[in-house]
Structure 1
Amino acid sequence: MCIHHILVVDDEPVLADACKQYFEHFGYKVTVAYDGQTALDLYERHSVDALITDFRMPRMNGQELLTRIRQRKPTLPAIMVSGFPGDFRQSEDERTKVFAKPTRLHTLAQCIKNLPCDSAVN
C-alpha cells in the first residue's frame, strides 16, 4: 500500500467526516478540510499521498485545488466527486479518477487501492 495519508475535501462536513472515519478504520491517516482554500493551506503543512475532493465548494472548487496542488506535486493521485454530473468528465490522466455523487465509500476505497503511487518528493 503506497497511499498512507489522504486529504479529504468536501464542503458538507457530514460527508467529509464520514469519509475520514471510514478510511481511518482501514489504517489510513486522513486530514479533512471543508473548502478548497483551507485544503490548500493544510496541504502546505502536511505531506499527503492522495486527494479526495468535491468539485463544487466555496472559496475554491476542486478542479482549481487540484491544479494548484499539482503545480507543487504533479504526480499526486486524486479522486474528484460531484453531485452535478455536468461539472467535468473523466480525466484522461490515470492519476485522476472522477465519480458522481452519491458514491459509496467502498467504491472510493477500491479506487484508492488502485491509484498509482506518487513518485514525486513533496
Structure 2
Amino acid sequence: MPMPTDVNGRDGKGRFASGSGNIGRPRGAKSRHARDLSALVRALSNRAYEALAGAIDKRERWAIELYFKLSLPHGLTMEMHGTTIEDIETATADGDISFEQAKALIANKRDGKAINELDEHRAMMKEILEKLPKR
C-alpha cells in the first residue's frame, strides 16, 4: 500500500514524492541533515576557535599543527635545498614530518632528478649532432 503524500510534497518516509507536478527533489534543496549540521557548525564555531586558541596558548603541538595545516597553502613549508633521502627518513622516524610530507619530498626529489637527467641527455644529443657530418 503506497504511503500518503503530505502537504510538503513528501511521502510518509520524508522523501520527495513523485507525481503530478513533482519530479523529485527541487533544485538547490538541502537535506534536513545537512541544514542541521550546518547550523550546529555555525553555533559551535566561536567556541571551537576559542578552544583552539587556548590550546595554542598552552603550546599544545596538535593545535599548532592543526592551525598551520588549515591556514597555510597546501604543501610543504620547509627548505628543499640539500635535503637528502636519509634526512627525510630521519625526519619521518623522529615524527618531525608526516608520511605524506615524506612522500611529497621524495617525489619532489625524484622529479628534480628526472629533470636534471633530461637536461644532461639533451646536452649529449646536441653534442652528438654537432659531431655528425653536415649534409
Fold shared per TM-score above 0.5: no
TM-score using structure 1 length: 0.24
When the two structures are superposed, what TM-score results if normalisation uses the length of structure 2? 0.22
The structure where helix makes up a greater share of residues is: 2
Which structure has more RCO (C-alpha within 8 Å, separation ≥ 6)? 1
